[in-house]
Amino acid sequence: MANMIEIRDLNKYFGDLHVLKDIDLTVEEGEKVVIIGPSGSGKSTLIRCVDYLEEPTSGEVIIDGTPLTKKNHLEMARTYSSMVFQQFNLYPNMTVLGNLTLAPIKLQKKSKEEAVEAAMVALKRVGLAHKAGEFPQNLSGGQQQRVAIARALCTKQPIILFDEPTSALDPEMVQEVLDVMIELAQENITMICVTHEMGFARQVADRVIFMDDGRILEQGSPEHFFENPENPRCRDFLAKILH
Ligand SMILES: Nc1ncnc2c1ncn2[C@@H]1O[C@H](COP(=O)(O)OP(=O)(O)OP(=O)(O)O)[C@@H](O)[C@H]1O
């Protein structure tokens, strides 16, 4: 398998705060990676560096062989990666269909017909084709997040980054979003997902990564990771959230 994402010696500071510390990480094409760790450990910042929503202070992020730079990052993100956020980030004054066709038409220069067709295919996949004409505020949180996932799907980039996609949802809506993600994981999409959903990690991840204080302290297959973590901080963290 080819490397889709290579992160080399990545450091990120916010002012004096050293948030990512010498991160090295390679993700293969089609690989599903779940990142867990305590609040403030740098998980979101790390995946935001993958599509340059945060600019690394030093080090490199290489996508499909091309290093991200100030100059190319918008074009690279358009081609390679989309992000699903905790707070959905849908435009409230646009219909679901409007939200889904905006980037393909404006940024990817697709025709309206092509964008609508792709949007409807994506909405079907998340079970919401019948909501195409609705405004986001008329949907439940779970439905809004499924729309956000459909939006990520219809731009057809090979990488999807999930930043705690179920953390803002009422508990009864979490599973419907996870089910969509589980189904997506059957495909050759490269996924990095920051989440506290350990069942999802066990079911879907090829690799689980534990971050603490800006560093990757443990990583491995779910079997190894959950049964036999070596790092004491990872063991403590798992003991807390699993019991
Ligand atoms: N734009 C920013 N400006 C200043 N500090 C920031 C910014 N974004 C994040 N931070 C800080 O960087 C650290 C890492 O934040 P990050 O959101 O990456 O952690 P996280 O592991 O994703 O946490 P959580 O699980 O709470 O979302 C935190 O101390 C946070 O307050």
% the chain with pLDDT above 70: 100
Give 117-153 pLDDT, tens digit per residue.
999 999 999 999 999 999 999 999 999 999 999 999 9
The superfamily CATH assigns to domain 3-89+161-242 is P-loop containing nucleotide triphosphate hydrolases (3.40.50.300)
Given a cut of 90, is residue 156 above it in pLDDT?
Answer: no
Atom 5, ligand 1: residue with shortest CA distance? 14
State the pLDDT at residue 167: 95
Which atom of ligand 1 has the smallest separation from the CA of 194?
22
Give 76 Cα–ligand 1 centroid separation in angstroms: 24
CB of 214 within 6 A of ligand 1: the answer is: no
Residue in this structure with the two tokens 């997040």, named with its chain if needed:
145
The predicted structure's pLDDT at residue 174: 96
**41 Cβ closer than 6 Å to some ligand 1 atom:** yes
For residue 155, name the pLDDT band (cuts at 50, 70, 90).
Answer: confident
Residue 85's pLDDT band, with cuts at 50, 70 and 90, is very high
Instruction: Judge whether 99 and 106 are in contact, CB under 8 Å.
Output: no
Average pLDDT (5-11) is 98
Residue 89 near residue 152, CB atoms below 8 Å: no
For ligand 1, the distance from its centroid to the CA atom of residue 39, given in whole angstroms, is 8
- Neighbouring-strand partners of residue 210: 36, 218
Residue in 45, 48, 194, 210 to alter for ligand 1 test, most ligand atoms within 8 A of Cβ: 45
CB atoms within 10 A of CB 76: 20
Q: Cβ contacts of residue 195 below 8 Å, gap of 6+?
A: 34, 35, 36, 162, 164, 165, 166, 167, 201
Give the pLDDT score at 17: 97
Q: Is 1 a residue whose pLDDT tops 80?
A: no
Q: What's the average model confidence in pLDDT over 176-205?
A: 95
Give yes or no for residue 45 CB within 6 A of ligand 1.
yes
The answer to whether 174 and 198 have CB atoms below 8 angstroms apart is no
User: pLDDT tier at 80 (50, 70, 90 boundaries)?
Assistant: very high
Closest CA to 98 of 20, 150, 157: 150
- Nearest-CA residue for ligand 1 atom 27 is 39
Nearest CA to ligand 1 atom 30: 40
Short-list 200, 164, 198, 195, CA closest to 180: 200
pLDDT of residue 147: 97
What's the whole-number mean pLDDT along residues 98-122? 94
pLDDT at 4 exceeding the cut of 90: yes
- Closest-CA residue to 29 (of 182, 159, 135, 126): 159
Tell how far the Cα of 29 is from the centroid of ligand 1, in angstroms: 27
Q: Is the dihedral of CA 63, 65, 69, 72 positive or negative?
A: negative
- In this model, does residue 10 exceed pLDDT 90? yes
The domain locations on the chain are 3-89+161-242
Mean pLDDT value of segment 171-188: 94
pLDDT value at residue 215: 98
Interface pTM, i.e. ipTM:
0.97
pLDDT, averaged across the chain: 95
Q: Is residue 108 scored above 90 in pLDDT?
A: no
* Ligand 1 contact via 167 beta carbon (within 6 Å): no
Structure tokens at 77: 């993100």
Q: What is the pLDDT of residue 243?
A: 75
Tell me how many degrees the CA angle 89-4-200 measures, rounded to the nearest 5: 55
> What's at 19, amino acid-wise?
V
What pTM, to 2 d.p., does this model score? 0.94
pLDDT band at 176 (very low <50, low <70, confident <90, very high): very high
